[in-house]
Amino acid sequence: MNPATGYVYVWEFLVKREHERDFERAYNGDGEWARLFRRAPGYLRTELLRDRATPSRFLTIDYWESEAAFAAFRSQFASEFEALDTKFAAWTTSEKEVGRFEPSS
């Protein structure tokens, strides 16, 4: 990512034990979320991190070329985004935005 540009969107999830594998498949860099994101210009990649101390805690890190690219994606694919969010909501006990970041100079 060029340090002069970039936008990173981070979420934290607490996942029910019986759905951890399903969650990993859906939220990893090749999962359903990333496949939806790849349909939009400006999407770069997704990383999924699992907390070593609390294995049910995951972070998703989505990389975009710019905040504008992310906003355009959310607008253009709003119904698909909401459908996936609803589909997977039962797998978690908590879901919260950690923050929206940009590379520091």
Question: Which residue type sits at 31?
Answer: G
How many domains does the structure of the chain reveal?
1
5-47 per-position pLDDT tens digit: 699 999 999 999 999 999 999 999 999 999 999 999 999 999 9
Residues forming beta bridges with residue 95, ordered by sequence position: 13
Q: Is residue 73 part of a domain?
A: yes
Q: Residue 8: phi, psi to the nearest 5? A: -125, 130
Q: Is residue 1 part of a domain?
A: no
46-65 per-position pLDDT tens digit: 999 999 999 999 999 999 99
Q: How far apart are CA 35 and CA 38, in angstroms?
A: 5
Q: Is residue 65 part of a domain?
A: yes
Q: Is residue 11 part of a domain?
A: yes
DSSP string, the chain: --TTS-EEEEEEEEE-GGGHHHHHHHHSTTSHHHHHHTTSTTEEEEEEEE-SSSTTEEEEEEEES-HHHHHHHHHHTHHHHHHHHHHHGGGEEEEEEEEEE----
2 pLDDT exceeds 90?
no
pTM for this entry:
0.90
Q: Is residue 25 part of a domain?
A: yes
Kindly state the tokens that stand for 35.
């496949």
Q: According to the model, what pLDDT value does residue 3 have?
A: 45
Q: Which domain holds residue 44?
A: 7-101
Residue 70: count other Cβ atoms within 10 Å of its Cβ: 21
Q: Is residue 2 part of a domain?
A: no
Q: According to the model, what pLDDT value does residue 93 have?
A: 97
What's 96's domain CATH number?
3.30.70.100
Interhelix angle 78-88/67-76, nearest 10 degrees: 80
Q: Is residue 75 part of a domain?
A: yes
